[in-house]
């Protein structure tokens, strides 16, 4: 299995669209910070990680960068669907189960883990540059960020399932994008029109919820008035996030596996 | 029986309502080069796909290197290599990158194997040219390079010389012959270029409409493709009867156009023509010919 992952990794590193996607995920937060600085009339130096999280920027940027999950996951799982290079894996004596597991794992490493780490990256470099800041509790923000791994896993496996069924990265990305738009617009509409609270129903809303702070209150610190944001992590939040994400991930994997086993690649 | 490395028994494959293979049985011996011969849609590729694990048989048994369960067959496939239909490569990668990908996928530790194989198939100078811009012949060579990567003991090659120029055909033929002779690599080759197969194969399997039409060694086929006399007369029906009755001809064949072929008694042709003449038959044509592999193939296919 490790050999298949190595081989997929080798070709993924030679795929320009993967690197463009990763570069975009790196650049988008910087652009967001720059625009935020312009709007506020402040310099970029004042965007601390705490401020980055408190102003919902992390959640909003995740909503954009999670498109990267779609591209990377689809490219890895079905990027060679047209070339049928999966045939070579079968012909080399790898079992179908191992091929499935290897492709899913490689897709998750590129689509899920990389986007998760890239999402957390601004917190890291902003902390190194400016320190944490005052608006949020760093431990709570870190816990929320780590919890976001689970809905990202769910989101990634959902898109890998689509790509696997479509047998084409392009079609997988197109269908994934439509699903993304439907979820984004549908969620907003349901929340606005019916006052529904949609959090755990989709991986994207779950992750965005975790990466967004709650209400704020003003306190005076060192003679300065500072807005403190609610970033508490409740046990329900942990249980629901992990439980629902794993359950849906398992469901998507089962669907993808059944489809994979059912369809002979001839 | 240990020299039998592939044993196919009563293999049947059905795609929906279409029967691609029906009760197919044959064996492949270690070190042989087997020509799989049949027209398009005969079932050649289906057999190869089942051997490669790309398709599953509907019925029947496949044993390779003594294994017939899925795990054992997968293990057997690590000793084999396949080039089935048009080789599928990563179109946007170079030949070297494609082979490096295969090297990693097969877990071959020796990195120099990629250059070695590229040289073997004469693709060492393709540089940064991506596969998308390769000619059909170059793709065939790359497909063959892929098949050679893991130093296989058994190669399954579907139309390996398709699209190659005459020089390329000779090179590939010599390469396959060398692999068979020096490294005892067993091969199953399907090709429409029958004259090429006749220069390589030690055994032949004829297949049509998903059924085996005949399994021969090269020696048996040579006998079957024997010399004959082509006889055309003013009364072929009467001539046929005379040949059987008075000339003791054992193997007589009436062709579609009514002319006759005799496969024995070739050394008595003067007596035969004399007997025909004495019986009032006037030969229009009397010529000595040979059935080649293509003729034989056409006969098998028509049956």
The DSSP string of A70-93 is HHHHHHHHHTTTTTTTHHHHHHTT
Q: Out of A163-177, B139-153, B284-298, pick the least confident.
A: B284-298
A135 touches chain B (CB under 8 A): no
Q: Give me the pLDDT at residue B15, please.
A: 86
Query: Tens digit of pLDDT for each residue in A151-160?
Result: 999 999 999 9
Give the ipTM of the model, two decimals please. 0.77
Q: Give me the pLDDT at residue A83, please.
A: 62
Over 70: is that where the pLDDT of A62 sits?
yes
Over 90: is that where the pLDDT of A23 sits?
yes
For A92, how many CA atoms within 13 A lie in the half-sphere containing its CB? 26
Over 60: is that where the pLDDT of A265 sits?
no
Q: Give me the pLDDT at residue B1, please.
A: 47
d(CA A88, CA B80): 12
Q: Give me the pLDDT at residue A253, please.
A: 93
Q: Out of A86-95, A107-116, B6-15, B97-106, pick the least confident.
A: A86-95
B53 touches chain A (CB under 8 A): yes
Which of A10, A83, A264 is closest, CB to CB, to B100?
Answer: A10
Nearest to A202 by CA among A162, A236, A158: A158
Query: Tens digit of pLDDT for each residue in B199-238?
Result: 888 998 988 888 888 888 887 777 777 778 888 888 888 8
Question: Which residues of chain B make contact with A14, given a CB cutoff of 8 A?
Answer: 90, 92-93, 97
Instruction: Please name the residue of chain A whose CA is at the shortest distance from the CA of residue B101.
Output: A7
Q: What is the mean pLDDT of chain B?
A: 85
Sign of CA dihedral A210, A211, A212, A214: positive
d(CA B300, CA B207): 8
Identify whether the C-beta of residue B290 lies closer than 8 Å to the C-beta of residue B198.
no
Which of A4, A14, A82 is closest, CB to CB, to B97?
Answer: A14
Q: Give me the pLDDT at residue B291, please.
A: 73
Sign of CA dihedral B261, B265, B268, B272: negative
Q: Which residue has the higher pLDDT, A198 or B36?
A: B36
Query: Tens digit of pLDDT for each residue in A185-198?
Result: 888 888 888 877 88
Identify whether the C-beta of residue B97 lies closer than 8 Å to the C-beta of residue B79.
no
Over 70: is that where the pLDDT of A264 sits?
no
User: What is the DSSP-derived secondary structure letter of residue B3?
Assistant: T
Which of B54, B75, B93 is closest, CB to CB, to A11?
Answer: B93
Instruction: Please name the residue of chain A whose CA is at the shortest distance from the CA of residue B51.
Output: A91
Q: Give me the pLDDT at residue B250, please.
A: 82
Parallel, antiparallel, or unpaired: how do β-strands B211-217 and B203-208 relate?
Answer: antiparallel
What is the DSSP secondary-structure string of A116-146? HHHHHHHHHHHHHHH---SSS-HHHHHHHHH
Q: Which two tokens stand for residue B18?
A: 């279409």
Entry pTM: 0.77
Q: What is the mean pLDDT of chain A?
A: 85
A91/B76 CB distance under 8 A:
no
What is the DSSP secondary-structure string of A179-200? HHHHHHHHHHHHHHHH----ST
Radius of gyration of chain A (CA): 20
Nearest to A176 by CA among A187, A166, A162, A186: A162
* Angle between helix A57-78 and helix A2-13 axes, rounded to 10 deg: 110
User: What is the DSSP-derived secondary structure letter of residue A20?
Assistant: H
Q: Give me the pLDDT at residue A266, please.
A: 46
* Angle between helix A149-166 and helix A169-194 axes, rounded to 10 deg: 130
B77/A4 CB distance under 8 A:
no
Q: Give me the pLDDT at residue B186, please.
A: 93
Question: Which residues of chain A make contact with B82, given a CB cutoff of 8 A?
Answer: 91
Q: Give me the pLDDT at residue A45, please.
A: 55
Query: Tens digit of pLDDT for each residue in B157-210?
Result: 988 887 778 888 888 888 888 888 888 889 999 887 777 888 888 998 988 888
With b for 16 or more beta-carbon neighbours within 10 A and e for fewer, the A76-103 pattern comes to bbbbbbebbbbbbbbbbbbbbebbbbbb
> Which stretch, A61-75, A147-161, B69-83, B157-171, has highest mean pLDDT?
A147-161
Q: Give me the pLDDT at residue A238, please.
A: 92
B72 touches chain A (CB under 8 A): no
The Cα of B68 is separated from the nearest Cα of chain A by a number of Å equal to 13
């Amino acid at each position: 299995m490790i050999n298949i992952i190595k081989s997929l990794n080798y070709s993924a590193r030679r795929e320009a669209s993967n690197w463009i996607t990763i570069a975009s995920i790196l650049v988008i937060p910087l652009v967001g910070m720059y625009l935020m600085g312009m709007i506020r009339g402040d310099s970029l130096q004042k965007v601390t990680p705490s401020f980055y999280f408190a102003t919902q920027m992390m959640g909003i940027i995740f909503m954009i960068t999670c498109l990267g999950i779609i591209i990377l996951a689809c490219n890895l799982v079905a990027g060679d669907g047209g070339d049928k290079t999966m045939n070579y894996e079968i012909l080399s004596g790898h079992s179908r189960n191992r091929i499935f597991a290897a492709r899913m794992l490689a897709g998750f490493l590129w689509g899920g883990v990389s986007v998760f780490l890239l999402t957390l990256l601004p917190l890291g470099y902003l902390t190194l540059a400016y320190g944490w800041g005052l608006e949020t509790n760093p431990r709570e923000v870190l816990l929320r960020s780590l919890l976001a791994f689970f809905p990202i896993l769910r989101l990634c496996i959902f898109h890998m399932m689509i790509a696997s069924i479509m047998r084409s990265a392009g079609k997988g990305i197109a269908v994934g994008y439509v699903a993304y738009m439907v979820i984004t617009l549908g969620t907003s509409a349901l929340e606005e029109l019916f006052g529904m609270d949609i959090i755990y129903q989709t991986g994207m809303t779950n992750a965005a919820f975790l990466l967004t702070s709650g209400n704020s209150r003003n306190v005076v610190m060192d003679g300065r008035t500072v807005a403190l944001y609610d970033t508490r992590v409740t046990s329900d939040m942990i249980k629901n996030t992990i439980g629902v994400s794993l359950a849906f991930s398992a469901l998507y994997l089962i669907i993808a596996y059944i489809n994979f086993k059912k369809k002979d690649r001839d | 029986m240990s020299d039998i490395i592939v044993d196919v028994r009563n293999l049947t494959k059905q795609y929906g309502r279409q029967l691609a293979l029906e009760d197919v049985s044959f064996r492949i011996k270690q070190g042989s080069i087997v020509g799989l011969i049949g027209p398009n849609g005969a079932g050649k590729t289906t057999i190869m796909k089942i051997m490669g694990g790309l398709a599953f048989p509907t019925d029947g048994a496949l044993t390779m290197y003594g294994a017939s369960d899925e795990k054992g067959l997968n293990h057997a496939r690590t000793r084999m290599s396949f080039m089935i239909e048009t080789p599928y490569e990563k179109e946007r990668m170079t030949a070297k990158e494609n082979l490096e990908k295969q090297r990693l996928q097969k877990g071959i530790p020796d990195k120099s194997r990629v250059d070695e194989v590229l040289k073997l198939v004469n693709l060492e100078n393709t540089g940064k040219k991506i596969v998308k811009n390769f000619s059909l012949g170059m793709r065939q060579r790359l497909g063959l390079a892929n098949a050679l990567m893991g130093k296989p003991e058994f190669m399954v090659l579907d139309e390996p010389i398709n699209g190659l120029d005459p020089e390329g055909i000779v090179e590939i033929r010599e390469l396959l012959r060398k692999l068979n002779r020096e490294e005892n690599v067993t091969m199953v080759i399907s090709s429409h270029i029958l004259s090429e197969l006749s220069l390589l194969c030690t055994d032949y399997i004829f297949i049509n409409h998903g059924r085996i039409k005949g399994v021969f060694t090269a020696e048996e086929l040579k006998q079957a493709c024997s010399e004959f006399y082509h006889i055309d007369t003013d009364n072929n029906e009467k001539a046929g009867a005379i040949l059987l009755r008075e000339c003791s001809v054992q193997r007589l064949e009436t062709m579609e156009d009514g002319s006759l072929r005799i496969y024995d008694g070739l050394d008595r042709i003067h007596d035969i023509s004399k007997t025909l003449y004495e019986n009032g038959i006037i030969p229009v044509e009397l010529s000595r010919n040979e059935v080649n592999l293509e003729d034989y193939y056409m006969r098998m296919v028509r049956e």
